[in-house]
Amino acid sequence: MNLLLLGMNHKTAPVEIRERLDIACTEGFSPLGEIRGLPGVEEALYLSTCNRVEILVRGREDAAVEERLRELIFRHGNLSGADLARCLYVYRDADAVRHLFRVAAGLDSLIMGEPQILGQVKDAYRRAVEEEATGIILNKLLHRAFRVAKRVRTETGVANHAVSVSYAAVELAKKIFGALRGQKILLVGAGEMSELAARHLLKHGGDRLFVANRTWERAVRMAAEFQGTAVEFPRLGEALREADIVITSTGAPGYIITGEMVAGALKRRQNRLLFIIDIAVPRDVDPRAGAMDNVYLYNIDDLQEIADENMAIRKEEAARGEEIVSAEAEEFRAWFDTLTVVPTIVSLREKAEAIAAGELERADTWLRNLDPAAREEAALLARAIVNKLLHDPMTTLKEETREGAARAYAAALRRLFRLDGTDGEQ
């Protein structure tokens, strides 16, 4: 196939190394154009995300291609030789195909099954097409990668089940309320995970956000960011009466939401459910609140346990995804091998038909004595003999394509029949 993929990702390289390449490629430099211009490179794709940088090329059989790509990465990433040796991975041919399929399907992502990577691969392919950097092989390969990603998402559960703490909170809220439309959210404190959970809840139907923080300016600023309402910290108990979902993550040394505060709020809530997510360490919410009727209280350990269980489920589903990747990679290999045998089949048929036509021409001295219908019968007989002679070797060649041994047979046929003096490999 002459496919070569070089890259580094979250598994092999720290972010400070990955970002060097990304920064270099956003400052007016077109890596795709330079990659495509390297000697020996015929097709190219450049993929850059916050978690990976990869170059995929197809070209002539040239051992120097890899070295040229390494030099490009070395130069534009301002990397050391030790960085390259430690962080760079290299895949060729079938391994490159399999890796690309796994990336597109989200099986190689930091969060297994995440869907964003497929859009990023599609964007990279679109840019490559716009810059005329792709051809028949990469075009076919990328479209097959998109198909693999769709199959993995629809035929497995690898993208289901929350695997982050913040998103696990959303899944729990859905189970408790059924739907999040119209639910009011109270965000207490400015923790990163609690803020992310609030974003997820609003995205999935949460109606309005209230923000309480010990620093009033911070509460106002965050409320404005979410188009919500700031709440003075001393009025936290009153806010509990209105909220349906409470997310708290402060740095307080003790409980800021006491059992008495929750009990007081419940008297004014008329049996409305109260879902409290306490992501703080140490905890912000008195555990006694979780024993009260109509109160659902979860802390960081509860959410992490849910996320871990869901990750285990995703890993099980990923095994099914890997089976899909393997099957699709084999199909792509078989398709590619047909590109090798088709020229051989065409050349063999052309030579056989040329021989038959030449013999008919030499026999013209006696064929001309036949009537037109008889001459046509003789021509048909010659073509039938050619077809029967070629049927078995051509069928075998196609069968060997599926078995992966077509190249050797094609080379043998080209040598045995002296087909244009080449070995038939492309």
Specify whether 87 is catalytic. no
Tallying the residues shown for the chain, one arrives at 426
Q: Give CA angle at 42 (40, 43), nearest 5°.
A: 135
Q: What is the DSSP string of 338-365?
A: HHHHHHHHHHHHHHHHHHHHHHHHHTHH
**φ/ψ bin of 43: left (φ > 0), alpha (ψ from -120 to 50), beta (otherwise):** beta
* CA quadruple 165, 173, 181, 255: dihedral sign: negative
Q: Enumerate long-range contacts of 217-223, CB under 8 Å, 24 or more apart.
A: 218/190, 222/187, 222/190, 222/195
Q: SS3 for 85?
A: helix
Reading the block at residue 96, the tokens are 């490159």
What amino acid occupies position 60?
A: R
Q: Among residues 15, 50, 327, 374, which one is catalytic?
A: 50
Beta-strand relationship, 41-48 and 52-59: antiparallel
Q: SS3 for 385?
A: helix
Q: Which of 158, 100, 120 is nearest to 332 (CA)?
A: 100
Known catalytic residues are: 50
